Amino acid sequence: MNLRIALAGNPNSGKTTLFNALTGSNQFVGNWPGVTVEKKEGKLKKHNDVVITDLPGIYSLSPYTLEEVVARNYLITERPDAILNIIDGTNLERNLYLTTQLTELGIPVVVAINMMDVVKKNGDRINTEELSHELGCKVVEISALKGTGIMEAAEAAIDAAKNGKTVPMHTFSGTVEHALAHIEEAAVHNMPEEQQRWYAVKIFERDDKVLEQIQLDQAVLDHIEADIKAVEDELDDDAESIITNERYVYIGQIIKGCYRKRSAGRLSTSDKIDKVVTNRFAALPIFAAVMFLVYYIAVSTVGTFATDWANDGVFGDGWHLFGIGTSAYEDAVTDYAAENVWTDEMISAVDAAAGMGVIGAEEIQSAIADEDFGAFDGAYGSYADALAEGGYDISEIYEAALGEEAEGVPDPSEYGVWVPGIPVLVEKGLEAANCPEWLNGLILDGIIGGVGAVLGFVPQMLVLFILLAFLESCGYMARIAFVLDRIFRKFGLSGKSFIPMLIGTGCGVPGIMASRTIENERDRRMTIMTTTFIPCGAKLPIIALIASALFGGAWWVAPSAYFIGIAAIIISGIMLKKTKMFAGDPAPFVMELPAYHWPTVGNVLRSMWERAWSFIKKAGTIILLSSIVIWAGSCFGTMDGAFTFSTEMELENSVLGMIGSALCWIFSPLGFGNIKATVATVMGLVAKEEVVGVFGVLDFEGMTRLAAYSFLVFNLLCAPCFAAIGAIKREMNSAKWTWFAIGYQCVFAYAISLMIYQFGSIFTGDLNVIGLIAAIAVLAGMMYMLFIKRYSEAKKLTKRVKVTK
């Protein structure tokens, strides 16, 4: 039979890092029976007969959170062969609280003191032999991050599972021990001896779940209650607080004998960093700068280079292997442009239109280096307008020089080592197989066009996920939750709400599920409703598409999307807290800040891949099917008065076009009331990636920059994909609240996009008086909700009292 070892420890103790190091790729991920909390198991490296279970991070075995219930139920009912308890050596007192409870379970325990490298670097000393003697179990030193001592800890756990017995060494004060002895004799004497201590302590604490489990007679309960009440009266405290205090007294005695801290007043490296990054005034600007840098790197620089290669190369015509031949090809394009497009006459006309000397020949020529017909219009639109007035039509010039009928256009495949893209290879294969036209269209336009448009943005997502994983692993994101708690509490939210939002940057589904750690029901519902405002991985392709297609890769587009999400959360928090449904103070937020450390490459890459793989799987299933449906909808329609199928179908006459036309009016006040944008928005409810997939199948229909930004904001803030809506339904556990959440998200997104477009139209010359009046009305209503007084539960109670009198 397999040996089963459970990893137990506080959050941020390094437990998951240790689990990954011990199991490597031999991991199995699922859900705990009956709940959606993630369950991780894996086989120990070089030990196929040893299964390690990574329990959720918990502070105690009290059933206050779902994680604690899951961990406790597993330890009590499954009873693993041994427990490997990971404790943070830099925060010994807090972590030993759980240890004192684990040693009472009657399961062999091995304590692994993690982060010993940091402890020694700080000048602290832990006497592990003395600590082992006091706790009554083996204690080993490890550094999960550096991999030192981890196999020794695992071997110690295996030895304990085979040979060890754990007897709790600590005792409580005399009166408490006397009561526990009575409880053991009266209530749990029939249980296995090694389990009696733990059950007695829980009965003393009046643990509801334990009392429900063991089903004691009322006479026994009354006898026990008398003993407990006598202790409470003598010590002047409630039973649970008495046990908590007794544990910390015991821990304090242990620490005195085995822990030597550095000289007083000396700050650790983490403390020094925290004096800056958690500073009341500097924290938010630093956070803004960090997140700006993250999105700038992921979307505007490194990520863009990789995505351009994927879109133009892998899912485009192809690419030069290792860049061999790229320089020669670009020189050829420049020479061709100088001879056929940017003649001396054209350059003079542009200079005249721009105001002599503002734009030079090299800048103009580089605008078409990638054979992009719209590059000049996108980069130098004002010059194009001026040239049009002078009789120069840029589009016609491009078509004549670079269109399909043009001759002599440089072919990139003739330079260097050229690797054809997937569409080119597939098209050649289809031609060789003499496939029918409809099958060519389905595969090339429907499947490759739709799925490829989405997968082309995976490199940007990988870069983003790597950066976010680094910030999480090094300990910075924990500080942001602490910093934002100060801000969030002023607006009616708890700092706990930031944790789901942080997780939601990868995917909204686990972000919504993470809200269950919030005890206050009103805060939890509000967090569920607002978590998806933060751009998730699926929304990153939308941001990148708009930024590159409409804003020339402008650096500010991606970071602004992230900060709009945070602003939407804050504004929603303020407004919702003014209502009866969400009134009340936010729950208190207590969080342990781990020491800063350099994360391992393996952990960062693993975190990145877990997030990216879920996106890729969705592209191979939901997005694939959606792309086929979109392609089919664009090919079926009416031609010459008859309903038919044609790959040459005009979009307006297709089924998809008819649906889009019927819904266009809804989005016209937002600036994107055209068929393609409407279809993309509706399909975004299936999967946000499908917004990009629609444009991959149907091609991108031009919008003004203002309309495009309005389109971006609406799709970021409106109701999430079906999977996330399903998660909202499970967490709300109410159809009414689910529909309320979806309705609020859509209405809020519509209101923000309406104001962006209508107020922006004042400066673009596209002013619509009715639209502007509507936007002003929405702004007035929002300002009213922001500044009215909060709904007061105290007033409500006072009114009830008066009525009663």
CATH 1.20.140.10 at 174-260, yes or no: no
Q: State the Cα–Cα distance between residues 795 and 174, nearest whole angstrom.
A: 48
> Over 70: is that where the pLDDT of 754 sits?
yes
Question: Mean pLDDT, the chain, as a whole number?
Answer: 81
User: Over 70: is that where the pLDDT of 791 sits?
Assistant: no
At 426 the pLDDT is 92
For 198-202, 317-321, 598-602, 742-746, which range has the lowest pLDDT when averaged over its residues?
A: 598-602
**pLDDT, tens digit, 9 for 90 and up, residues 36-68:** 466 788 899 888 889 999 998 888 888 767 778
Res 28: pLDDT: 65
Mean pLDDT of 326-337: 79
Checking if the pLDDT of 222 tops 90, the result is: no
3-163 with 174-260: one CATH topology? no
Residues linked to residue 27 through DSSP beta bridges, in sequence order? 42
Banded model confidence at residue 369, pLDDT cuts 50, 70, 90:
very low
pLDDT at 583 over 80: no
Dihedral over Cα of 579, 582, 584, 589: its sign: negative
* pLDDT bracket for residue 794 (50, 70, 90): very low
Structure confidence at residue 378 as a pLDDT band (50, 70, 90): very low
pLDDT of residue 358: 42
> Do 81 and 161 touch, CB atoms closer than 8 A?
yes
Is the pLDDT reported for residue 759 higher than 90? yes
Which contiguous run of DSSP H or E holds residue 87?
strand 82-88
Decide if pLDDT at 367 tops 80: no
Distance CA 804, CA 301 (A): 67
Question: Torsions phi, psi of 654, nearest 5?
Answer: -80, 165
Point out the least confidently predicted range of 132-136, 260-264, 401-405: 401-405
Q: Which residue has the tokens 């053991």?
A: 184
pLDDT at 748 over 90: yes
Domain ranges of the chain: 3-163, 174-260, 461-787
With a cut of 90, say whether residue 774 has pLDDT above it. Answer: yes
The arithmetic mean of pLDDT across residues 311-326, rounded, is 87
Q: Tell me: pLDDT of 511 over 50.
A: yes
Confidence at residue 111, expressed as pLDDT on a 0 to 100 scale: 94
**What is the reported pTM?**
0.69
Mean pLDDT, rounded, for 735-749: 94
- Residue 513: pLDDT band by 50, 70, 90 thresholds? confident
pLDDT band at 621; cut points 50, 70, 90? confident
Q: What is the pLDDT of residue 266?
A: 67
Report the alpha-carbon distance of residue 502 to residue 511 in Å, rounded.
7
Architecture of domain 3-163 in CATH? 3-Layer(aba) Sandwich (3.40)
3-state secondary structure (DSSP) of residue 641:
coil
Please give the residue that has the higher pLDDT: either 627 or 155. Answer: 155
Q: Tell me the CA distances in angstroms from 747 to 233, 560, 685, 740, one per residue in order.
A: 56, 21, 15, 10
DSSP for 338-403 reads HHHTS-HHHHHHHHHHHTSSSS-HHHHHHTTTT--TTHHHHHSHHHHHHHHHTT--HHHHHHHHHS
CB contact at 8 A, 720 and 634 = no
CA pair distance 538, 458, nearest whole angstrom = 10
- The average pLDDT across 305-327 equals 86
Question: Average pLDDT for residues 140-155, to the nearest whole number?
Answer: 90
Selection from 154-163, 434-443, 533-542 with the highest mean pLDDT:
154-163
> Which among 598, 600, 602, 620 is positioned nearest to 610, based on CA atoms?
602
Residue 803 clears pLDDT 50, i.e. is over it: no
Q: What pLDDT does residue 390 have? A: 60
Query: What per-residue confidence (pLDDT) applies to 550?
Result: 76
Paired with 51 in beta bridges are 4, 43
Using the predicted structure, report yes or no on whether residue 658 has a pLDDT greater than 50: yes
Task: Supply the pLDDT for residue 739.
Answer: 94
Model confidence over 562-571: pLDDT tens digits? 889 989 988 9
Q: What average pLDDT does range 617-627 have in this prediction? A: 76
HEC states along 27-71? Answer: EEEEECCCCCCEEEEEEECCEEEEEEEECCCCCCCCCCCHHHHHH
If DSSP states are collapsed to H, E and C, what string results for 111-178? EEEECHHHHHHCCCEECHHHHHHHHCCEEEECECCCCECHHHHHHHHHHHHHHCCCCCCCCCCHHHHH
d(CA 491, CA 501): 16
pLDDT score of 712 more than 90? yes
Name residue 515's beta-bridge partners.
Answer: none
Q: What would the mean pLDDT of 384-395 be, rounded to a whole number?
A: 61
Structure tokens at 439: 């099958």
Out of 276-290, 614-628, 657-671, least confident range: 614-628
In the prediction, which pLDDT does 782 show? 92
pLDDT at 346: 64
CA atoms in the 13 A half-sphere facing the CB of 752: 24
Q: Which 8-state DSSP code applies to residue 635?
A: H
pLDDT band at 167 (very low <50, low <70, confident <90, very high): low
